[in-house]
Amino acid sequence: MTTTVTTTCCISICSAQSWYELQQAQPMNPFDLIQNATIGGTAGVSTNSNNYNNSTWAANTVGLSAAPQCSALETTNAQMTADAAQWNFSHMTSNSASTIPPPLLNHVYMRGGPQWAMTLPLSFGATTYTNLQLSLLHNAATRGDAQGTVPVIQWTGSFSGNTTLSLTLKNFGRYTLGLRCDTGSAVSMYQSDWIIVP
């Protein structure tokens, strides 16, 4: 008689069927989804974070300050520029109506494809953050990779008031992203649910 042993060494976040499996899952790389990312015109840096998935959390104060907009990266092509304007006209990318339940305020529609940039206007309010890390939100539930780290796109500096997160997205589908916001003394997570369409 033979015995088959099943291991869970290579569980993906998408295939996890419980919190036990989610904690054991391999983190997803945001670069599989994001081709380019800037905050306030500054490009993010790829790094492996040792604190994206282990922080003491404070209440989030970050949010959208206006609806996300699509723009053409090929700005000298009038047809591409017009196509982006028509896409914006026919797509309501977010809804900030007072009748919308608060969890849906972070539900945004984005345009994917290497020829487009999506701009998310963000408000950091009066709080000044010194470190921002963008990754798939569920990576924060994992134990990280073999070194205990999580792949993120990171910015360091001084971030407060209103700014923009600009992105070029490779894939289509539904994703939940988390922007880890660190003041140096308090850490919060801004959650954004992206539905990426053509």
CA atoms of 163 and 190, how far apart (whole Å): 14
CA atoms of 167 and 110, how far apart (whole Å): 10
Radius of gyration of the chain (CA): 18
Tens of pLDDT, residue by residue over 119-167, are 999 999 999 999 999 999 999 999 989 898 999 999 999 999 999 999 9
What letter represents residue 188's amino acid? S
CA atoms of 153 and 139, how far apart (whole Å): 13
Tell me the pTM: 0.91
Tens of pLDDT, residue by residue over 46-102, are 999 999 998 899 999 999 999 999 999 999 999 999 999 999 999 999 999 999 998
List domains and CATH numbers for the chain. 30-197 (2.60.40.10)
